[in-house]
Chain A
Amino acid sequence: MSAQPAKRITDIGPPHYEKFLPPIIKKNYGKWLYHERIAPGVFVHVAESGDRVWTVRAGSPRLLSVQTLRQIAALADKYSGGHLRFTSRNNVEFLLDNPDNIEPLKRELQEMGFPVGGTNNAISNVVHTQGWVHCHSAATDASGIVKCVMDALYDHFTSESLPAKLRVALACCLNMCGAVHCSDIAILGVHRRPPKIHHDALRKMCEVPTLIASCPTGAIRPATVDGRQSVEVIEAQCMYCGNCYTVCPAMPLNNPDTDGLSIWVGGKVSNARTAPKFSKLAIPFLPNNPPRWPEVVDAVVNIVNVYAANARKYERMGEWIERIGWPRFFELTGIPFTRYHIDDFKHAGLTYARSTHIRM
């Protein structure tokens, strides 16, 4: 007699979050009064009931093995009643109801190699994409550059010495799975050559009308190649966005000789003081130089240093640049301004200077 097959469970959604809330959070849910900073990476929230919950925040490499996750779980068992959470920027947070646990927890995290910090006027953890670890359209690696940049900016994670918070993000191609386009500093992988068309594969794998429609500049048009239907790319119209590759695997544009990185600055998502804004182009191209990407690291560190030395208290990168003006930003950072900095896509004119407000 065969066993009854187990019923297949689907569409149950995630576990209800209440199951995972620490008792002190459940008790004071929606009844928090204020919070105070204790030290970099440590703050306390005080509830109307008088209860206090201490948060200890640590940076992680985002890519985590189950072995490390079990270590993190063990720390939660030891110090925070078996409860923990992650932040939107890949930090892990332990919520403590006993402040005596702060120092021992910090010590153990640091012994594990997980820095405590990322709060207030610090550089928080980097939001990033998969890169060569897992993506087909990556112009560069993601985790590797993030590691090198954060090695260099480590002290800005573990201290709160900047004029304001500073958010760094990285996306390894223009698809921007990491949606880095509103970051104080965005590192963006770029392609610089049109896709190579594999006509044989294209016939087998791709729908030509969909492919033609995928191009935002209309650079792809039908063509007959060796007597069979395919497409051609008007190369002068291609800005290497990779849309065509997304819908058609026979249009790869990864190129080890010409792919690289660009740096964008001054974006923010918070509404504090000024409206949310996009990051703007600072450096159109830097070489793709694994394993330590020195050019990218130097460029980011330079921008952070110039910002730290010149911005006023509470000024985010973009707010500082708007106050001093872009010409001064380029002057102070020593970054050359080029033709690539002038927009030529839709609504380009909106970024042209339409006044005589010029600092001489």
Chain B
Amino acid sequence: MAVAEKIDTPLLDELEKGPWPSFVTEIKKARQTSPMCDDLLGQLELSYREKIGHWKHGGIVGVLGYGGGVIGRYSDVPEKFPRVAHFHTMRINQPAGWFYTSDALRTLCDIWERHGSGLTNMHGSTGDIIFLGTRTEELEPCFQELTANGFDLGGSGSSMRTPSACVGPARCEWACYDTLKLCYDLTMTYQDELHRPPFPYKFKIKCAGCPNDCVASIARADLSIIGTWKDDIQQDDDAVAAYAAEGVNIQKDVVDRCPTRCMEWDGAKLTINNRECVRCMHCINVMPKALRPGKERGATILIGAKAPIVQGALLSSVLIPFVPEEELEETVKELINRVWEFWDEHGMNRERIGELIQRVGMANFLDAIGLEPVPEMVSAPRDNPYIFFRTDEEQA
């Protein structure tokens, strides 16, 4: 068999210039072991020349018994680039916090070299390990090798997505609950929802250990679990003084930046009115040796974030202001069950939970899931007088 001709890629070669590491170099490296990468480069060069993508729309492919985890992808110019005629993606559950051993990483590499293009994303936007590009007949053998080695597929379509977590207590003093444990527990509890699409649309859960929200849960998760604390900020006055001595301008950089102006600095001592603190993290971020989250830790649970599709982007909003860490897992699971039941009953096709809440109103949603309204749920009470009074309350 003739050696495949090297495809000329003058436009893509421009992307091997400059200091930032190049994805084109990566694709070229993978062609050492995968001829698919030659055709991928060829098709991509064509896209760069014509300014248009050359992948067809979807296609239902997958592994036996699962309804998600594989994104079907076919070239629209297979006659030119037959080796990427199929180029399906496999999504694989990442370990919580994205920790690996070098052996685990090499195992994944070996499996993917045998069954696909040898190209990956570490990681996809939702957090999964992404295996980029394989043929339909390789999906099932690849899946079987993955599970034999302790890995499993992530979600796609109308299924739950692999939950993700920040580094949490593994390497962060600010983790207000065990993000890795909760992320893992939820992933294991909802394997069925992850692998067999049961919902009107996708459902994402992200576990952030503190209000810095390093996993962007408030912007990207239908259910955002963000660590916080209830008692006073732990304060080390000597360490505050040491920061001041090192040149930190406590007044300007800490006190004046506090959103509630709940602290005072007299040049020697920092006084925090903890009752006014909104746990924004700024002072702690500036002086991590001197200030730490309190000891009574837990999380705020928020609901409804999403990207624009379909009815516009949403940020998550507060559902439960504080859940103590020891009650978190049970509370979250109970809440998820009630939320899914409501969504299942009332959600329209491709309607995310946040959009459903917008459509029916937060108050009706709260009634349905059995939560009492509290002022922490709103930035302000309504400013319009069009209130749907309930007739059963007129007697009161």
Residues of A within 8 A of B (CB): 6, 8-17, 19-21, 25, 29-30, 32-36, 45, 53, 55, 59-70, 72-74, 76-77, 82-88, 90, 92, 95, 113-115, 127-129, 131-138, 140-141, 143-144, 147-148, 150-151, 154, 157, 171, 174-179, 181-182, 210, 213-214, 216, 241-243, 245-247, 249, 252, 254-256, 259, 267, 269-274, 276, 278, 288, 290-292, 313-314, 345-346
Contact = CB atoms under 8 A, between A and B. Distances in A.
Interface in B142-191: 144, 147-148, 150-152, 162, 164, 166-167, 169-173, 175, 178, 180, 184, 187-188, 191
Given A36-B289, A66-B110, A151-B17, 7 more contacts: A12-B147, A35-B172, A62-B123, A73-B103, A85-B100, A127-B125, A176-B309
Contacts of A115: 19-21
Among B25, B166, B288, the most chain A Cβ lie within 10 Å of the Cβ of B288
Interface string B101-141: 11111101110110000111111010100001100000000
Nearest to B181: A17
A141 B48 contact: yes
Contacts of B57: 136-137, 245, 249, 252
7 contacts: A11-B195, A68-B26, A72-B105, A88-B164, A90-B122, A148-B15, A241-B310
A226 to B, nearest CB: 23
Contacts of A95: 171
Given A13-B152, A34-B173, A67-B32, A181 B308 contact: yes
Nearest to A176: B307
Contacts of B50: 256
A29 B152 contact: no
Interface in B58-113: 58, 64-66, 73, 87, 89, 92-106, 108-110, 112-113
A15 B122 contact: no
B171 A53 contact: yes
B23 A62 contact: yes
Contacts of A14: 92-96, 151-152, 162, 184, 187
Given A12-B147, A15-B150, A241-B309, A32 B109 contact: no
Contacts of A128: 125
A182 B95 CA distance: 25
B12 A92 contact: no
A218 B228 CA distance: 42
Interface of B: 11-12, 14-15, 17-27, 29-30, 32-33, 40, 44, 47-48, 50-58, 64-66, 73, 87, 89, 92-106, 108-110, 112-113, 118-123, 125, 127, 132-133, 144, 147-148, 150-152, 162, 164, 166-167, 169-173, 175, 178, 180, 184, 187-188, 191-192, 195, 211-220, 226, 253, 257-259, 279-282, 285-286, 288-289, 292, 306-313, 315, 348-350
Contacts of B164: 88
Contacts of A36: 288-289
A155 to B, nearest CB: 9
A69 to B, nearest CB: 5
Contacts of B166: 88
Task: List 9 A-B pairs, minimum CB-CB distance, nearest first.
Answer: A151-B18, A249-B57, A14-B93, A73-B102, A176-B307, A30-B169, A271-B211, A66-B109, A256-B51
B310 A25 contact: no
Contact of B120 (A66, A137, A242): A66
Contacts of A345: 312
Given A64-B120, A88-B127, A243-B309, A15 B95 contact: yes
Given A17-B180, A35-B173, A11 B152 contact: yes
Contacts of B14: 291-292
Contacts of B310: 214, 216, 241, 243
Contact of B12 (A60, A140, A291): A291
Contacts of B285: 272
A288 to B, nearest CB: 5
B51 A134 contact: no
Interface centre among B65, B105, B169 (most CB of A within 10 A): B105
A316 to B, nearest CB: 11
Contacts of B92: 14
Contacts of A59: 20-21
Nearest to A89: B214
**In the complex, which of the residues B192, B220, B292 has the most CB atoms of chain A within 10 Å of its own CB atom?**
B220
A66 B133 contact: no
Given A17-B180, A346-B312, A138 B101 contact: no
A267 B99 CA distance: 28
Given A73-B102, A88-B214, A114-B21, A174 B308 contact: yes
Nearest to B288: A34
Contacts of B219: 179, 181-182, 267, 269, 276
B150 A92 contact: no
B173 A32 contact: yes
Contacts of B150: 12, 15
B173 A45 contact: yes
A34 B289 contact: yes
A69 B108 CA distance: 10
B125 A177 contact: yes
B52 to A, nearest CB: 4
A96 to B, nearest CB: 12
A69 B112 CA distance: 12
A215 B87 CA distance: 29
Nearest to B150: A15
B313 A60 contact: no
Contacts of A83: 99-102
Contacts of A85: 97-100, 167
Nearest to B99: A20
Nearest to A243: B310
Nearest to A26: B170
Contacts of A84: 99-100, 102, 105
Given A11-B152, A214-B350, A247-B350, A86 B253 contact: no
A63 B26 contact: yes
A242 B308 CA distance: 11
B122 A69 contact: yes
Of the candidates A62, A64, A177, the one having the most CB atoms from chain B within 10 angstroms of its own CB is A64
A256 B309 CA distance: 22
A272 B280 contact: yes
Contacts of A144: 15, 23, 48
B309 A175 contact: yes
Nearest to A10: B65
A209 to B, nearest CB: 10
A87 B98 contact: yes
B90 to A, nearest CB: 12
